[in-house]
Structure 1
């Protein structure tokens, strides 16, 4: 979410908070300049951690979700339609964990599990939101035409912020050397 802030706003927030804390430490607590600087850096770090990980959630109303960034925390039912085996459709639950500074994805299917190693939210030129992630998958019981490990990526557009329904495309390098890599459409519906 922090990435969606304009640079000017990020600069103002961090600068104003730093100046205010330095002023409190140096003027009200009468600390020396070097100690005030040290305390300011420590306080900014602790504030960023606490607010960024936990304290933002109770104050993140629907207005912020619609205007700033949707809340991606939760579990979705993922429906993928692959080009493999003539448009085979597979459904499985996907969980996203988001805070103010990061977002992660993990999922378990009937044959393995997957997790994101890169995940980000972007705002499109039409002001809609896009979730993009790269993932690594592991099959627990690969077949002759499959592989144990594979990587892939997905790009999903948030169709409706209130329901958090997302649609997009995915692709993998799964068995690419045998020309069996997969791609297709992906749809997520929040549970």
Structure 2
């Protein structure tokens, strides 16, 4: 979620707040009636100690806000919806949907599977877990992110995953890699994740391993 924020403006705001806190501490220690004085070694040590304490407290507060505190704002009715669309969507939770592969089954129909996705996001990290409900394969997401494309203004979720099949069919691979790109779509009363995926599955045999993904957050 950090990636979608305007970095330069946010860093300037954080630097401004930190500077105010630090200067306030120095002024209190030195005395506001005689600020311009010749500092002794003891004064310098005292100022450094308090400045270090202020820095640690400031970093701790920012970390808590980035990890959990922001949710208190995003969960405010109506305000959360505005923040989802204009700042960054809160995608935390479990998602359910289906994957439609261009691979055909024995009857010539596109292969469709139900899947579940678990998303854990904050302003420090973004993590995805994806699994198919038929237990034929298990996937591990090795890299994931959410970002806003300045070209169309949409939010996107992209990830790279590794899949393992413990008992593959004779026409399948036991292990393969893939990637997906999903657009965050705001419907009337819910958020959807819709997009495509592609893999290197059976590429040696000219296999067609791509498809579409559609997910909706579970209530």
TM-score normalised by the chain length of structure 2: 0.78
State the alpha-carbon separation in 1 of the partners of residues 51 and 204 from structure 2. Answer: 56
Q: Match for 1:164 among 191, 195, 206?
A: 191
The change in CA–CA distance for 1:173 and 1:28 in structure 2 (over 3 A counts) is farther
Counterpart of 1:32 in 2: which secondary structure?
Answer: helix
The change in CA–CA distance for 1:12 and 1:87 in structure 2 (over 3 A counts) is same
The CA RMSD measured in Å over matched residues stands at 2.1
State the alpha-carbon separation in 2 of the partners of residues 115 and 29 from structure 1. Answer: 53
The change in CA–CA distance for 1:36 and 1:181 in structure 2 (over 3 A counts) is farther
Tell me the number of residue pairs that the alignment of Structure 1 and Structure 2 aligns.
191
State the alpha-carbon separation in 2 of the partners of residues 152 and 116 from structure 1. Answer: 9
Alpha carbons 2:29, 2:47 under 8 Å: kept: no
- The answer to whether the aligner puts 1:65 opposite 2:84 as a matched pair is yes
Question: Which stretches of structure 1, 4 residues or more, deviate above 6 A after TM superposition?
Answer: none
Alpha carbons 1:25, 1:39 under 8 Å: kept: no
The corresponding residue for 1:7 is: 7
The change in CA–CA distance for 1:34 and 1:87 in structure 2 (over 3 A counts) is same
The corresponding residue for 2:41 is: none
TM-score normalised by the chain length of structure 1: 0.88
Structure 1 unpaired stretches of 5+ = none
Alpha carbons 1:26, 1:32 under 8 Å: kept: no
